[in-house]
Amino acid sequence: MDPFLLMAIAIIVALLFDVMNGFHDTANAVATVIYTKALPPQVAIGMCAIMNMVGPFLLGTAVAKVIATSIIPSEKLTIAIVVAGLMGAIIWDLVTWYYGLPVSSSHALIGGLVGSGLAAIGLSGVKWGGLTNIVLALFISPVIGIVLGLVFMYLIGRFIISRMGREQANAVFKKVQILSSAAVSLTHGSNDAQKTMGIIAMFVAVTYGTGTPVIEPWIIIACAAAIGLGTAFGGWRIIRTLGERIGKEELSPSQGFAAETATALTIAIGSHVGAPISTTHVISSSIVGTVMAGGTGVLNKNVVLNILTAWLLTIPVAAIGAAISYFILTLVGI
């Protein structure tokens, strides 16, 4: 196949993943603001889509460079490896969306790249040192989300709700929460869209033989538009899980604000230092933290356990799907 045609097909697959990422992760920013009734659903999703598009332009491309250079050795990179990695991630995203499980598209992508790299090359097909740093960031960030969600909710309860009363405080937070939801969308776009930027930069580097992937302006524009488009469709199954099922009671506006603020802060730090963290894991864990501030007894433990199980399965299952996809691609001559 003509290498430039192959590159074009691969870029389309990457952008489809970005659309799926936005669709799957809409709940990250809008579940809390919808279920606290701070915004109507379509307004919340529209705001989220716009902020997801703006995010990649404001907070740099450090994450994209990490994805492009830290998982697969550049001298062994092929388009088939990366496309197979994307296919493994897309398949897992679709399965978990169907069951309403808020798993990480970031974990799925990284698992997919690892699986296709191993299938194509073997153990030397993965940069284990770079992968270790990425996985550490992915697993540390949810812990930070729980802690910040718990702390912010405690401070809100201690210094605001106790003085204003719950009803008045929630009326205030219902308005302020619009800003915190927008901040989550902005930072989500800055972190998650960058992962696909890194993938597309890989394709270009392989096709033109430049060696080192470079994040060109057109790549930023394409990925920002794709993730914004996916967000606009809205993943309602996952929105319901985050908004209704983690706690045994609906989230209050103060809880929504605390969870969103914790999430936006964690993701912004990750984007700044180039850590490709999971926005899905951070918002889920931040919600758990805010619910725990009212006592662990109000957590819906079965739902939380299902989410944790899906988290643990994401990397290995996406890796297996990517390995199978790689062998299929080789059979058809890609």
Residue 295 predicted with pLDDT over 90? no
What is the arithmetic mean of pLDDT over 69-78? Answer: 87
Query: Do residues 63 and 138 lie in contact, with contact meaning Cβ atoms separated by under 8 Å?
Result: no
What is the arithmetic mean of pLDDT over 90-97? Answer: 88
Least confident range of 18-27, 135-144, 197-206, 318-327: 18-27
pLDDT band at 309 (very low <50, low <70, confident <90, very high): confident
pLDDT band at 135 (very low <50, low <70, confident <90, very high): confident
Residue 241 predicted with pLDDT over 80? no
Residue 325 predicted with pLDDT over 90? yes
Residue 157 predicted with pLDDT over 70? yes
Least confident range of 36-45, 114-123, 253-262: 36-45
Choose between 34 and 316: higher pLDDT: 316
Which residue bears the tokens 């930023």? 220
Nearest to residue 85, comparing CAs of 113, 55, 110? 113
For the chain, give the percent of residues with pLDDT over 70: 92
Query: Do residues 284 and 242 lie in contact, with contact meaning Cβ atoms separated by under 8 Å?
Result: yes
Token pair for residue 179?
């800003």
Rounded to 5 degrees, φ, ψ at 294 are: -95, 5
> Which of 14-23, 30-39, 49-58, 154-163 is predicted most confidently?
154-163
The predicted pLDDT at position 247 comes to: 55
C-alpha span between 65 and 322 (Å, rounded): 22
Average pLDDT, the chain: 85
Angle at 220 between CA 214 and CA 224, to 5 degrees: 150
The predicted pLDDT at position 322 comes to: 97
Least confident range of 16-25, 199-208, 311-320: 16-25
What is the arithmetic mean of pLDDT over 171-184? Answer: 92
Nearest to residue 36, comparing CAs of 242, 233, 217, 222? 242
C-alpha span between 179 and 124 (Å, rounded): 46
Residue 151 predicted with pLDDT over 60? yes
The predicted pLDDT at position 245 comes to: 55
The predicted pLDDT at position 98 comes to: 82
